[in-house]
Amino acid sequence: MSIKFFTYRIKIALCVSLFLISLSSSQFSQVNKTATSNQSNSVPSQYPRMTNAIADEMTKTYSYYMFQLFLVQELSKKFPEMATDLSKAQLHFDRTFKPSIITIDAIMTKENTTWATDKPAFLETAKNKIASVNVTEAQAKAFVAELTSRANGKLTSPVLETLLIYNPDFLKQPAEEFICEYKQTFRTKDHPKSKGIDLQIDFPRSWKILEGKRPNVISTLKSENGRGDASVLFIVKDLPIDRPITQPEIKELLHPTSLKELVPETGKFISSTPVKLDGLSGAVVKYDVEQLAVEIPLIMRFMMYVVPYKNKLIMIQCGVALLKSEEAILNNRFVHFEPLFKLIVNSVVVQNQYQ
């Protein structure tokens, strides 16, 4: 089988993979697409549209913070000798996460008509519950250590993810979460669909790993704890050879003509550019594609990194998916995430090279 014919087979496989991405993205796009507001300065200009599940996580996160704050106040009164340590730990936490709490409160006030009226009663109940708890000195000391740990980002899920999603700086520029070292690492080593390729990649802490649904799709990383419109997908395919690919074959595979053939039938080729991925020659292909997911028309833009390695083809597909009716903002959404996509891909290490 020729390398050129192989690109046609990849295109067919990508059509199936794109459909699966769009299927999960459509659920987000219908009810959690980007919302806009010109209200209070605390309400960001763009934020994920509400669903019951998202509102529930936002409410729980806000409650988590308020209970913590009331507990700090109560313990400071009960154990004055710990007041300074408690205050320092809470200030540390607030420097990092209070902007997110303010944003959550502002969005909930805007989106939920009963939030502002119900909140005072809730806060009063929370204070009373905290005041009624009998805390020992040993438990208070343990809480100081716990609070310090929380301030350093060691929080339960989905509290941490929610705080990161609604950080106003990260809402403006998603790459900032990555730059601020809120990252996790994914590795394909020993994954049954990795075909022996050991990729290591960093991605934002607020994103979620979803298992790939097709034979060659290892996993999908998805923004907003798995509900977002941005994703990064990993594919490893066998090249039609039983030996390492040669330099002439790599040159042929990465030629713009061959790369255009990777774009699905319903796609529109935008550009291709040579790149290096962990020192390996590759290319990035940018294209738009339309899909119909459960009778919902979608429009997507992808930048797909294509890297031949030995007798495998590594593909890392980064993109955003929106409703077809939102096509006018597709470019803006893609540009919004593009710096983050590049940071994620630049973190890739092909560990096989060093083993």
Which backbone phi and psi does 278 adopt, to 5 degrees?
A: 50, 40
CA distance 198 to 212: 16
Q: Regarding predicted confidence, which is higher, 40 or 136?
A: 136
| 113 DSSP assignment | T
Q: Around Cβ 297, how many Cβ atoms within 10 Å?
A: 14
Rg value, the chain, Cα: 24
Cis amide linkage into residue 158, ω under 30° from 0:
yes
Q: Say how many residues make up the chain.
A: 355
Say yes or no to pLDDT of 26 above 70: no
In this model, does residue 23 exceed pLDDT 60? no
Question: What percentage of the chain carries pLDDT values higher than 90?
Answer: 82
Q: In the predicted model, what is the mean pLDDT of residues 336-354? A: 97
Residue matched to tokens 């459960």: 294
**311 neighbors 245 (Cβ within 8 angstroms):** yes
pLDDT band at 50 (very low <50, low <70, confident <90, very high): confident
pLDDT tier for residue 95 given thresholds of 50, 70 and 90: very high
Q: Which of 108, 88, 110 is nearest to 100 (CA)?
A: 108
Report yes or no: 256 and 244 within 8 Å, Cβ to Cβ: no
Instruction: Give 235's Cβ-side CA count (13 Å radius).
Output: 27
Which pLDDT tens digit goes with each residue over 162-174? 999 999 999 999 9
pLDDT at 116 exceeding the cut of 60? yes
% of the chain surpassing 70 pLDDT: 88
For the record, the structure tokens of 6 come out as 């192989």
Tokens representing residue 90 in the block = 């809470």
Angle in degrees, 0-180, between the axes of helices 137-151 and 83-111, rounded to the nearest 10? 60
How many Cα atoms are found within 13 Å in the side-chain-facing hemisphere of 70?
A: 18
The closest alpha carbon to 279, from 337, 209, 353, 330, belongs to: 353
Q: Choose the most confident range, by mean pLDDT, from 6-20, 21-35, 245-259, 293-307.
A: 245-259
At residue 266 the predicted structure's pLDDT band, cuts being 50, 70 and 90, is confident
pLDDT for res 13: 46
Q: What is the largest CA-CA distance in the chain?
A: 77
Q: What is the mean pLDDT of residues 216-232?
A: 95
- pLDDT band for position 3 (cuts 50, 70, 90): low
